[in-house]
């Protein structure tokens, strides 16, 4: 991935560049101390995939810079900010910013956010490549497809799309959830789920057995099932936090409106929103995670996008 960093603090630029290069997250193709030189032509010339930009800067700040790009930049934007003003953060969201790194810079947060953005870019590229292939195969037929229809027929890619939308694709439990989707899809082919969804215990057991193989012992299997349950809970908790953050900033955020009450009980969403509003770090121990509901909704929504 190719990064361009814009921040008026040279120390911040240096720190970000060091993290990106030390952890092989990509290469730095340009830097600037304000947004006055940033335009779509420059970013295109340097083949920038990810623009990392500070919210507040002299001469031309991050909000104005992104506004002037007017959607001409096809890459992803990560906003850096120590500002907690909801109106300004909401403005950034409305301009297309989906990812934030808060100041003071935390190395682990930077790595986590960038990895999620990279995963999102890779997923979009995968979808684009499939779409291009289908367009070639269907030459002479309908060339322009409705953008709202997910063009891939694979349950896993449909699931990856949703997990990315929910802000949890970088969590280790996402792999477990994708394995569950594949199992459920194959299972429903053999025996349609008419009225009852398979028990969650059976899903975890089958997926764990498939992962470990026939030589796995009973203790090993139980250990993997428990580990998988914990990974999935943490991943779902991340999605809950992500949606609550979006809703707290902008109650009419499209992702919040579409996914929040569909995947979670509103009381739990509201609980996390209140904790965030009071600057209390949400704790998984204080939240009721309905794993079965989440898995069921994820499966049904993934099928819709196939």
Structural domains in the chain, CATH included, are: 2-114 (3.40.50.2300), 155-304 (no CATH)
User: Span 180-185, mean pLDDT?
Assistant: 93
For the chain, give the percent of residues with pLDDT over 70.
Answer: 90
Q: Who's near 46: CB < 8 A, 6+ residues apart?
A: 2, 4, 29, 30
Smallest Cα–Cα separation from 202: which of 180, 227, 176? 180
Collapsed DSSP state (helix, strand, coil) of residue 290: coil
Can you tell me the distance from the alpha carbon of 252 to that of 268, in angstroms, rounded to the nearest whole number?
18
Mean of all residue pLDDT scores within the chain: 85
With beta carbons less than 8 A apart as the criterion, state whether 112 and 269 touch: no
pTM of the predicted protein model: 0.54
Q: Which residues contact 132 (CB under 8 A, 6 or more apart)?
A: none
pLDDT at 282: 82
Q: According to the model, what pLDDT value does residue 143 have?
A: 43
Q: CA–CA separation, 145 vs 217, rounded Å? A: 49
Burial 153-166 (b: 16+ CB within 10 A, else e): ebbebbbbbbbbbb
What are the pLDDT digits (tens) for 123-179?
877 776 776 677 666 654 554 444 444 333 488 888 999 999 998 988 899 999 999
247-293 residue pLDDT tens: 888 878 888 999 999 999 989 999 999 988 888 888 888 889 999 99
């Amino acid at each position: 991935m190719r990064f361009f960093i814009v921040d008026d603090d040279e120390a911040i630029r240096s720190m970000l560049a060091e993290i990106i290069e030390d952890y092989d997250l990509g290469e730095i193709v340009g830097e600037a101390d304000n947004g006055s030189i940033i335009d779509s032509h420059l970013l295109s010339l340097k083949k920038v995939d990810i623009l990392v930009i500070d919210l507040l800067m002299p001469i031309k700040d991050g909000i104005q810079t992104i506004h002037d790009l007017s959607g001409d930049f096809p890459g992803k934007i990560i906003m850096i900010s120590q500002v907690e003003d909801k109106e300004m953060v909401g403005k950034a969201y409305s301009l297309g910013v989906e990812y934030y790194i808060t100041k003071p810079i935390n190395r682990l947060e930077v790595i986590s956010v960038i990895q999620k953005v990279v995963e999102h870019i890779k997923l979009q590229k995968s979808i684009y490549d499939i779409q291009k292939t289908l367009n070639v195969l269907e030459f002479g037929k309908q060339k322009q497809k409705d953008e709202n229809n997910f063009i891939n027929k694979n349950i896993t890619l449909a699931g990856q799309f949703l997990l990315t939308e929910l802000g949890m694709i970088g969590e280790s439990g996402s792999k477990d959830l994708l394995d569950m989707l594949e199992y459920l899809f194959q299972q429903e082919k053999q025996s349609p789920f008419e009225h009852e969804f398979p028990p969650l215990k059976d899903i975890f057991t089958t997926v764990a057995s498939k992962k470990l193989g026939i030589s796995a012992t009973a203790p090993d299997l139980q250990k993997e099932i428990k580990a998988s349950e914990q990974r999935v809970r943490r991943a779902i908790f991340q999605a809950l936090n992500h949606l609550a953050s979006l809703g707290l900033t902008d109650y009419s955020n499209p992702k919040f409106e579409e996914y929040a009450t569909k995947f979670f009980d509103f009381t739990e969403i509201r609980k996390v929103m209140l904790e965030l509003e009071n600057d209390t770090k949400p704790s998984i121990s204080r939240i009721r995670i309905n794993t079965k509901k989440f898995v069921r909704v994820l499966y049904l929504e993934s099928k819709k996008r196939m």
